[in-house]
Structure 1
Amino acid sequence: MKIDRYSLRTKLVIAALMCFMIPLIVNYFLTTYVTKDIVLQKAVSSTRDTLILVDSNVSGIVEQMLSLSNIILMNNEINKHVKMSKEQFARGNNSDQQLDYMRLISNLDDLFAQNSDMYITVLGINGFAYTNYSFSDFNPNFFHGKIEFKELDKLAAFSTAWIGLQDNYYGNFEAKQKSPKVLTIARTMKNSSGHSLGYVIVSVNESKIQRQLNSYSEQKIMLMDESGTILSQSQSESINIGQQFRYNDYAINENTLVYNNEKYIYVSEPVAGTKWSLLSLVPYSSAVGPNNQILVTSFIMQFLFFTGFCILLMILISAITNPITQLGKFVAKVNMGQLNIRSGIRGQHEVGQLGKSIDQMLDRIEMMIEQITLEQTQKRKAELEMLQAQINPHFMFNLLNSIRLSILIRGDEENAKLIGSLSSLLRMTINRDNEWISLRDEIETIQHYIRLMNFRHANQVQLIEKIVVGSDHVLVPRFMLQPIIENAIIHGFHQYGGQIEIESYTVKVEEESRLLIKIHDNGVGMTPERLQELITKLENEKGDAAPNKSGFSGIGVTNVYQRLKLIYGEKFLMRINSEVDVGTTITLQLPQVNRDVE
């Protein structure tokens, strides 16, 4: 799992944060979800209460309109005049009849004088007409082109036709500017036999209705007829008066709708005694906003409290786990090979005891490593000294050079080269001054060795070099490659001819330069089982390299691996790939060592 990569301190902090934050977040969302419907119902209830208050005010205006029309319908004098035939009304030129008519008009004017926002029109079929406004402002006979009186004739006595929204035809220009629309109702005056005698038309300025709707600025309230046409509204931002608004088409549930990408809470209430209704739209955000603000504020306070608590907890966890963290870093450095450092962690607690024990163990390990290193160094020097003690080096070199020159003078260049190779190889073997040589010198030693082996076994082993410029000056241990080449000739070619290819180049591994050397032969190769056996032997080899008892052939691949592992440690890598009848490839990866080579 990925969490295994984190330290113990980090795991404790993450666990503490999860234990506090998860319940906090779950509580917030759970509370929001549970209270959402409750908040919505409270908002709907509040909106409905407001709408009922508005309804009572609008109903008062409508009742006033009906009351004024009832006064006219129940007035005996008006009924007497409209019941006259057209001929009688037209001949009504005697003084008594004119006096009655003038008295009626005066009484009606006095009666309706207090209703300046309402326009009352009485039209008799016989030609009788009365208005509480000037005929010069609007001729009531024009209603015949604006109201379907035939439809009014179909109404029962005392029934009301809810005409609805109309342009304001009354008053002067200033009055029309203040209220460009009026709301109109109409009623029919009938005789006992049900025939229409006349019509009562009552209109009210839409602005009067709007003033009632504007009393609640936090809501958008509309007065609508049965077809959904807006007769009046408190605000006119996106929907105009006279426009149809079928709010049910935008509803997403019982009390919410979405219009123009904004969510609203809506409540509808019918206006008592009419075919009109009131619709209230409240932005959802403003309706539930206060409750959400309370929840957010509560969440923030809890979050701040838990944050302070977590900071205190992290400080305590840091203090408690600090020795463990230090010990973990210390062990990581030791694992990377820094055996000369010590933790210095002390105390009566378990970590202090563990730190002290590790320091003591490292002291013993370091002493053992120094002892083993000293023994190995002495052992290698003893082996070289024993080899050098077999013959006198200077005598041997001088003698071989003399023989080579003698043969060369006689024209035998091939044997002269053989003597030269043997001299160089022996010089490299017994030279005790420096155990490190350049890769170029090591490859020249291989060239001499292969030349001598070709002469000895009468075969033709070809050496191909692919040395990248720059890698040939890297220092390597002496005779590092010779045992591998010998192994290829003896076991890969069975002492017959073949081809050996040496490739070298430098690479970057973890920001450090490394030397890669690949030795490939086209010999018989190894079976997978034999290859696995060799790899297992290399991985499990614990003993020292076997002593050199038979010249160059006594040190094999295992000895090379153990020797380089001892020199370079964990930074040395060896990979072996082999395939039957194809050949074997050995790849060595060494830390790059550059020194001045004389």
Structure 2
Amino acid sequence: MRLPAISWRQKVILTSLLCLVLPSVITLVLTADYTKNELKNKAVAKAEQSLEVADLYESNIMRDMINAFNSIQYDSEMITDLRVAWNMHKTDPSGSVDLLSFKKITERLERIQFFGGKTYVTILLPNELYFSNYSTYKNNLSFLYNEPWLKSLAREPVNTTRWLGTQKNYVRADADSAPRVVTIIRTFQIYAKGVNAYIILSKPEEQFRQVFSQYASDQVMMLLDADGTIISHTQPDQIGKAVNPVPQDESYATVRQNGKGYIAVSHPLKFAGWSMRSLTPYENVTSKIGNLFNYVFILQFVFFFLFSVVLLYFLGQWTLPIMKLARTASKVEKGFLEERSKVRGSDEVGHLGLAFDKMLDRVKEMIRQVETEQNRKRMAELELLQAQMNPHFLFNTLNSIRLRAILKGEHEIGEIIGSLSTVLRMTINRNNEFVPLHEEAETARHYMDLVNFRHHEGVELKVNLASDTLLELIPRFTLQPLIENAYIHGLQQKNGEIAVSAWKSSSFLYIEVMDNGVGIAEDKLADIRSGAPISGIGLKNVKERLQIIYGDLFVMEMDGAPGKGVAITLKIPLNGREEQAHVSSHAGG
């Protein structure tokens, strides 16, 4: 039975792969057993050294916190001041204490020096009287009295110290920069056989973590409590998770996390049954093989170099047509549509070159067709424009009718015709997409005159524009849809009042359209504020048009209540408005 024939390219690829892979596999198999134990021993020894260094740092922090407890609890002057504060708190009818009278307590807490950096000290006395070495402005700590761990500790003997581990930072001022704190708490009494008081010490979790990256940047280190829960970790998102313990009769264990292998080494601490653990990735271990690995690496490099020379030669021959295709595509991208690759052949690349050249010929033909169609379309548009009535003729006719009506004493009809002429001129005129705010308000006033004349209603339009907003440019027909919406949906086409106001603040122009109509239901208003689509076509068009012009800086807000009318506020950015008006004016023209 004959084997199927393979091409010479396949033969070269197979031969090159065998020359590269086979020696590597042989050398790795021969050295794997020898290096395995040596690498593990070195990794374990380094991890133990790192843990011992970290132990000194962590133990100093924890010992310093214990000493701080003692310095507060056994300071006679501090206890005396706390007694005075608590007695005043009990006897004060209002249940409050003038904290300025006990400035000495706060100053004494602030003078305590701590190893490792910032430490939050809190003293909780009965009846929700507390002192701290940090600002409690807008940071009410009364909730600490209801914490489950505080109630549990209240049932324990006096001078009981409990290590709570990692918690959410309760100091609001530092919660963003230090979201987690490691906390310990101790009970004490300011009077013998009296009610319990508490001292709470908390340090930002990053103080426990910073030693990990300083002394063991190639390891994953963590601080665990007695239950195996992570208190501090090189990767903060792992805090609070539980890990499996390392057997006590072994110096290390092999674990897998996130699909990767690690060598785990544990080290107990002297406080609270806590411990530290180091995870050394296998990848880091295998990268240090010593002299034998260097020999293997040199051997592999020789084979790799030979393979690369052969492979690069053939790749150069294979990729030459592809590079020619790439250069042709680059020139075509720059606009040289006459360029052709002229790559031909019986293989896949030759077929690709022929298809690419035919595609360019087809594209060129399609461009020629599009140009022809565009010319025809332009001619049709010119013919259509020639057939349209000259708007100036219509405006002049309306003005003539208006003057004729005024001369005959029909001043109201003359004014209505004037308003109609103004609104019609603004509708037909496309030369300026942006208009001054005062001109837009005047157009809205004319529109309101036409509405009152048509429906015989007495809707009053009040316009109150700040003087520094009159010349600000806004898109045409911004106010008219809002006023129309207020008249139809707010006043329900009946008598009422519509008010238009404008002012500037910072770099924004604010425009408010408010009516005193039927208002809006609370559930519907809540839906609109949550992002639900706006039902009115005019409001929707105004919002979408201004969002297209100004982007995310534009904001449209709606406020109201049943029976109290509706107020719509537009927040329009002022920066770049001249450039936007200039571009839109040219686009409209």
Bin the TM-score by the shorter chain: 0.3 to 0.5
TM-score normalised according to structure 2 size: 0.41
TM-score normalised according to structure 1 size: 0.40
Which entry has the higher C-alpha Rg, 1 or 2?
Answer: 1
